Amino acid sequence: MTIKPLIILPDPVLRQVSKPVERIDAESLQLADDMLATMYDAPGIGLAAVQIGVPRRLVVIDVSREGEEKTPLVFFNPEIVASTDARSTYEEGCLSIPDYYAEVERPAGVTVTYVDRAGEKQTLEADGLLATCLQHEIDHLNGTLFIDHISRLKREMVIRKFTKAAKSKI
Ligand code: NI
């Protein structure tokens, strides 16, 4: 497992729409393992492949609490097929937008279809933090960031801050 460098706002790679993973083979399983290593190292609770510069529809998540056993989840080609009318709000962050957090309201529950590590199609009903995390990560596969769900004023402030920071590093 290799820890990969994270793609940071405002890198345009983050706005790409990711392509489906064609087959679950050694290469795609290696990518999932590298993503998990990168996510745990950060540390974070979710990561989309595009965040390490690979625009493929692959998401890894672990919402287990500190001190609990790790529960790494891998979702190839995840798709939201249903969501609840009930909504919930979480303070979200993103490994591609370090040290910025904002409250985002989303459906409280989602049903997601995906392909697992064994290549089997699965359906998962999620609520709570896992539901929010799945929606946040699946957004990444469509080039959407959590800051797209907050006010325009706040979003523009964040983008300005990160654009300035990126320029000062050159
Ligand atoms: Ni994110």
The structural domains of the chain, ordered by start, are 12-168 (3.90.45.10)
Say what the pTM is: 0.97
Q: What separation in Å is there between the alpha carbon of 50 and the centre of ligand 1?
A: 10
* Residues near ligand 1 ion, CB 5 Å cutoff: 94
CB 58 within 8 A of CB 35: yes
Q: What is the pLDDT of residue 170?
A: 64
Q: What separation in Å is there between the alpha carbon of 121 and the centre of ligand 1?
A: 24
Q: What separation in Å is there between the alpha carbon of 69 and the centre of ligand 1?
A: 23
Question: Has residue 57 got a pLDDT over 90?
Answer: yes
* Stretch 120-129: mean pLDDT: 98
Q: What is the pLDDT of residue 67?
A: 87
Residues belonging to the active site: 137
CA distance 82 to 77: 16
Q: Grade residue 168 by pLDDT with cuts at 50, 70 and 90.
A: confident
**Residue 150: which of 86, 91, 79, 88 has the closest Cα?**
91
Using CB atoms within 10 Å of the CB of residue 63, give its burial: 0 to 12 exposed, 13 to 18 middle, 19+ buried.
middle
Q: What separation in Å is there between the alpha carbon of 79 and the centre of ligand 1?
A: 17
**What percentage of the chain has pLDDT greater than the value 70?**
99
* 67: alpha, beta or left? (left if phi > 0; alpha if psi -120 to 50): left
